[in-house]
Amino acid sequence: MKQEKSILSDTSLPLTDQQNSSKSVKESGEFILISTPIGNLSDFSLRAKQTLQEADILLCEDTRVTTKLLSAYGISIRMESVHEHNETQRTTQIISLLQQGKIIALVSDAGTPLLSDPGYRLTKAIIEAGFPLTAIPGANAALTALTLSGLPPHPYMFVGFPPPKSQARKNGFTTLKAAERAGLKATLIWHEAPHRLIDMLTDLALIFGNDRPAAVARELTKKFEEVQRNTLQGLIEHFTNVPPRGEITVLVGPPLEQDETTEDDLDQQLQTALKTMSVKDAASLVATAIHLPKKIVYQRALELSKNR
């Protein structure tokens, strides 16, 4: 493929009518978020194809990945890479191109842009600048997995990728567990890499309980699509015996009624611990036992100790 100079790095491009006339922002460029297939190329919509054929520039995470999609549909368009390392730098240049009346589209490597992918900071800046913005819907791994999971479809919470390190991961899960104690009852959804799946499921079981209903979906829309539905412990056992491969989405169902710890339960455990321990030690012990953030439990322990 012939190497072309990046239009985003060409500072010699002049701003047009907006500098020299009263042309309004609404008459200038447009920014379009376009969903792409998560595996099966046939999931690319006719509207998405037509939009790319009419756009001036296509922003993508990896031009090599997007080239495969464009080639399959016979689309020719100038591509520019926008990823987490250059998104802030490119924002000013892209807004300048919108001022020139360019139609600019943004795709991620797969699925719906911005969801666990770059583009949010750029899109927010474009909204604040007042340029027209629209989206072409399409494939989404989290929602596809949700509909196949057999878990309650609403409410749901998409959390993205969990931290790669176990302690940070458990801290995040503990915060969600605390939200459940406060009344959150939602199906939780994450993406995860296959080599970290067992560790993630183990941490989930530690915080949410071995018997919590869950599902793991992998290779969605592809030839080897699979959805495993089980308890967290059952999923750990399955994927210990059958090493996971491919793109993975993990779902955890809302808490079972018998698993819920009420405020009275928390107070009872703290009252018992405070009989023989300091506030700090009692809070630490109970927080570990029921998987709640230590700060929250410590604050409640302070309140109870004042009333004793």
**pLDDT of amino acid 15:** 37
Report d(CA 50, CA 72) in Å as an integer. Answer: 14
Note the pLDDT tens digit of each residue in 28-37. 799 999 999 9
Structure token pair of residue 9: 């790095």
| Spatial separation of the C-alpha atoms in residues 120 and 229, rounded to whole Å | 32
Q: How does pLDDT run across 18-59, given as a tens digit for each residue?
A: 333 333 444 679 999 999 999 999 999 999 999 999 999 999
- The pLDDT of 177-196, averaged and rounded, is 92
Cis peptide bond upstream of 14, omega within 30: no
Instruction: Compute the Cα dihedral for 154, 157, 158, 162 and give only its sign.
Output: negative
What does the pLDDT read at residue 210? 93
- pLDDT tens for 122-152 read 999 999 999 999 999 999 999 999 999 999 9
